[in-house]
Chain A
């Protein structure tokens, strides 16, 4: 059966649409409304025209309708009304998106004339219409309102950007150009055209434009120095003075520092947790051992086994000494994290002599030869920290010396590393090397050597804190420390930046 393209055919199609379709004549009288429109008002077509064109209808609304219709008739161009509030018969207002288009008739002379208008309206999928206080009045007013916003954006001290409903970039603040993309807006190109690299913002901006509500998110960007930075971006809808949705304004905050601080804080918390667990373990272990030893000592005394009782008491005494040492290391670890500001010239020979003097009993007992070659070098550093570093390294070298070899020795050398930094005011780095022919590290253990509580020698008692303290002190001095395994023993190489003034250096001309 052939289809008949008559009025009934088209009416059925129009009634099947969910969109509201309204056809008016050139003077804005209703000629036709489809089923969706009639349903919305709960009436038939005659009642509908009586309401809209009748004296009891809302005059303002009607006026605006008529004005929009007449604009279409006059200009012959479609009119897009993105946010039109329509009140139904029950007084319920809803926001609609409406397109009003002209219907042309051709005169015998070939001229076109607008004879009717057709309006197609659909409710907003996302209802977040700004309050409407007054209908848009004129283009000039809108401009007068948009211009100050653009001026604000152009001069805003944060990275800030303004787009219209179609994501066309209207204005960009200087800091946005510097940090997020240098492209200049021309009022026509969209955000995606101008900043293809800011893909991460696409969803954010789309959401803001579609839902017409504020959204925020985080993106990575690159600063002018090429350094990776994190930005928190707020996208908020802006509206014309009359409440008509205008587009979105994006404001970015550089949160690189906060990000870094958060990461550091998380790490510090993790360290603290690990530390308190290990610290309590390191205290609880010896305590329960001492408890056991004390019980057996009492038992031994009762049984008359006095030599064994004496031995057990001696063990307790030794353990108490170790606990005391552990407590001191905890204090040193805490001190390593505090800021100390005293910087001065330190004579390495004097400092090392002082440290070695403190260990002379062990050095004599183990018969260790110590050889120091510093060339009388003075280094500029924080005395407390440098002392702590050298003290720990020297005492480790003594503690982990190898009893199986004949000539145990520790070599300490210090040199200034000359750098070609002409004209710069920074000093030269100092390199201090402490090497021994002791028990040494297995190469696999070296990466974990500076971790808290890591221990590698079951034969020697220790608390696994010494090198962790060294690592923190070195970090606080801005230096570096590395472990170089030797054929026999270990070398610790300490680099201290800016530690030797340049006054003695020959400058090449």
Chain B
């Protein structure tokens, strides 16, 4: 089983770290990367027309503080373009902001499933997030 994930983060290093952490989980991953919210939205909209192997992602790991379209702006725009295919997609925040109001604001969206603070979580947490997500979803190819 291949889990399609997407990482949206402007930091090359943080994308690298998350990829390596995800690599330690017990699943085979297909990882799509985007450097900010706009690039991610472009990808998802393109996927609706011409899907590639990474589309539709089951989990999107989303940074908050990014240039052009930041995490919160992405959530709003993502909500607007969600269709049946993306209806199963969940977003997990992956950010260095430990602020409660940021967490509340993100988790207010029903498709936002988790809030991980960079540097404050263990690889096991990632496994739990992915396990939890897969258990609640059927038919992930």
**Which residues of A line the B interface, CB within 8 A?**
277, 281, 284-285, 287-289, 291-293, 296, 315, 319, 455-459
Contacts and interface: CB of A to CB of B under 8 A. Distances in A.
Most chain-B CB neighbours within 10 Å: which of A281, A288, A291, A458?
Answer: A458
Contacts of B119: 284, 287-289, 291-292
Contact of B67 (A281, A288, A455): A455
A293 B36 CA distance: 21
A293 B99 CA distance: 24
B79 interface: no
B65 A458 contact: no
A458 B36 contact: yes
Contacts of B98: 284
A285 B96 contact: yes
Given A288-B119, A292-B13, A458-B36, 13 more contacts: A281-B97, A284-B96, A284-B119, A285-B118, A288-B118, A289-B13, A289-B17, A289-B118, A293-B13, A315-B13, A458-B39, A458-B67, A459-B35
A287 B117 CA distance: 13
Interface string B8-23: 0011011011001100
Contacts of B14: 289
B106 to A, nearest CB: 15
Contacts, number: 46
A289 B11 contact: yes
Contacts of B10: 458
A370 B98 CA distance: 44
Contacts of B35: 458-459
B13 A281 contact: no
Interface in B1-42: 10-11, 13-14, 16-17, 20-21, 35-36, 39
Interface residues of B, number: 22
A285 B67 contact: no
B72 to A, nearest CB: 15
Nearest to B96: A285
A457 B11 CA distance: 12
B44 to A, nearest CB: 17
Contacts of B82: none
6 contacts: A284-B96, A285-B96, A289-B118, A289-B119, A292-B119, A458-B10
B20 A281 contact: no
Contacts of A285: 11, 65, 96, 118
Contacts of A315: 13, 16
A277 to B, nearest CB: 8
A292 B17 contact: yes
B137 interface: no
Contact of A319 (B13, B66, B97, B120): B13
Contacts of B96: 281, 284-285, 288
Contact of B17 (A281, A287, A293, A455): A293
Contacts of A287: 119
B68 interface: yes
Contacts of A319: 13
B66 A458 contact: yes
Nearest to A292: B17
A302 to B, nearest CB: 14
Nearest to B121: A288
A380 B110 CA distance: 59
B120 to A, nearest CB: 7
Nearest to A453: B65
Nearest to A455: B67
B11 to A, nearest CB: 7
